[in-house]
Chains A and B, each alone.
Chain A
Amino acid sequence: GSSTNNSAADATPTAAASSDAETIKIGTISPNTGNLAAYGEAVVNGINLAVDEINAAGGVLGKQIVLETLDDKGDAVEGANAFNKLADDSNVCAVIGSVTSGVTSGLAPLANESKIVLLTPTATADTVTDADDYVFRACFKDSYQGRMAAKFAAEVLKVKKVAVLYASGDAYSAGLREAFIAAAEEFGLEVVAEESSSSTEDTDYSAQLTNIAGSDAEFLFAPYYYSSVGPYIVPQARAAGFDGVIMGADGFDGTIATMVDDKSLYNNCYFTNHYSPDDTSAAVQNFVTAYSDKYGAESLNALAALAYDAVYMLRDSIVKANSTDRTAIRDAMSGMSFSGVTGSFTLDETGTPEKSVAIIEFKDGAAIWNSTLGN
Chain B
Amino acid sequence: MKKSSIKSSLINLVVLIIVFGILIVLCEFDILSNYIRGILMVCCISIIMACSQNITVGYLGQIALGGAGFMGIGAYTAAIITKAMASANILVGEGVPDTLRFLIAILAGGILAAIFGVLVGIPALRLRGDYLAIITLGFGEIIRVVIQNLKFLGGKGFSEGSAGQALVGINRISNLYVVFWVMVICVALMYTFIRSKYGRAIIAIRNDDIAASASGLNITFYKVLAFTVSSFFAGVAGGIFAHYIGSLSAGSFGWLKSTEYVIMVVFGGMGSLTGSVIAAIVLTALPEALREFSDYRMLAYSVALIIVMIYRPTGLLGTYEVSVTRLINKILGKKEPSLHAIKAEVEASGTKEEEVVK
Chain A residues engaging chain B, CB cutoff 8 angstroms: 32-34, 69-71, 73, 75-78, 80-82, 84-85, 87-88, 101-102, 105-106, 108-110, 114, 125-127, 130-131, 167-171, 173-175, 178, 198-199
Contact = CB atoms under 8 A, between A and B. Distances in A.
Interface string B137-158: 0000000010011000011100
Interface of B: 33-35, 37-39, 42, 145, 148-149, 154-156, 162-166, 168-169, 172, 241, 244-252, 287-288, 291, 294-295, 297-298
A76 B288 CA distance: 14
Contact of A84 (B34, B172, B252, B294): B34
26 contacts: A33-B297, A71-B295, A76-B245, A76-B248, A77-B252, A80-B244, A81-B42, A84-B33, A84-B38, A102-B247, A102-B249, A105-B168, A106-B166, A106-B247, A108-B247, A109-B246, A125-B165, A127-B168, A167-B164, A168-B163, A170-B164, A171-B164, A173-B164, A175-B162, A175-B164, A199-B251
A239 to B, nearest CB: 27
A301 to B, nearest CB: 20
B42 A101 contact: no
B252 A76 contact: yes
A131 B169 contact: yes
B145 A127 contact: no
A126 B163 CA distance: 13
Given A174-B162, A174-B163, A198-B145, A105 B247 contact: yes
| Chain A interface main SS type | helix
Contacts of B166: 101-102, 105-106, 125, 127, 171
Given A169-B149, A175-B165, A178-B162, 4 more contacts: A76-B245, A102-B252, A127-B166, A171-B165
A127 B165 contact: yes
Contacts of A199: 251
Nearest to B298: A33
Contact of A127 (B37, B155, B250, B252): B155
Nearest to A167: B164
B35 A81 contact: yes
Contacts of A127: 155-156, 165-166, 168-169
B103 to A, nearest CB: 21
B156 A174 contact: no
Contacts of A171: 164-166, 249
A109 B172 contact: yes
Contacts of A168: 148-149, 163-164
A77 B298 CA distance: 16
Dominant secondary structure of chain B at its interface with chain A: helix
A8 to B, nearest CB: 20
Nearest to B244: A80
A77 B245 contact: yes
A69 B168 CA distance: 26
A167 to B, nearest CB: 8
A71 B294 contact: yes
B148 A169 contact: yes
Contacts of A69: 294
Contacts of B145: 169, 198
A105 B251 CA distance: 14
B72 to A, nearest CB: 12
A76 B251 CA distance: 10
Nearest to A85: B35
Nearest to B34: A84
A69 B291 CA distance: 10
A168 B156 CA distance: 17
A71 B164 contact: no
Nearest to B145: A198
A161 to B, nearest CB: 24
A108 B170 CA distance: 12
Identify the interface centre among A34, A69, A106: most chain B CB within 10 Å of its CB: A106
Contacts of B287: 78
A168 B250 CA distance: 11
A81 B297 contact: no
A130 B156 CA distance: 11
Contacts of A110: 246
